[in-house]
């Protein structure tokens, strides 16, 4: 069982800050969901948290790099 499965995003960030856990600094620039460079962009105000991923090809939901990993 995953102890974080029921945590909200706010709870995760509260834990990160409280415990000084390192995180990717792109999060501070509105990169909410971080993947490979071609498929990741900052999320705009009001957008879904996954809006910053696979933005170049929404119909396939991947850029092609994932096919080779």
Please say if 39 is a catalytic residue. no
Q: What is the DSSP letter of 5?
A: T
Q: Are 51 and 44 in contact (CB under 8 A)?
A: yes
Q: Which residue of the set 63, 65, 66, 68 is catalytic?
A: 63
Looking at residue 11, the DSSP 8-state letter turns out to be: H
Contacts of 25 (CB under 8 A, 6+ apart): none
List the catalytic residues.
63
């Amino acid at each position: 069982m995953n102890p974080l499965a029921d945590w909200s995003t706010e709870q995760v960030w509260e834990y990160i800050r409280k415990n000084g856990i390192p995180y990717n600094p792109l999060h501070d620039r509105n990169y909410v969901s971080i993947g490979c460079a071609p498929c990741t962009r900052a999320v705009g105000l009001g957008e879904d948290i996954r809006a910053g991923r696979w933005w170049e090809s929404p119909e396939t939901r991947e850029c092609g790099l994932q096919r080779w990993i």
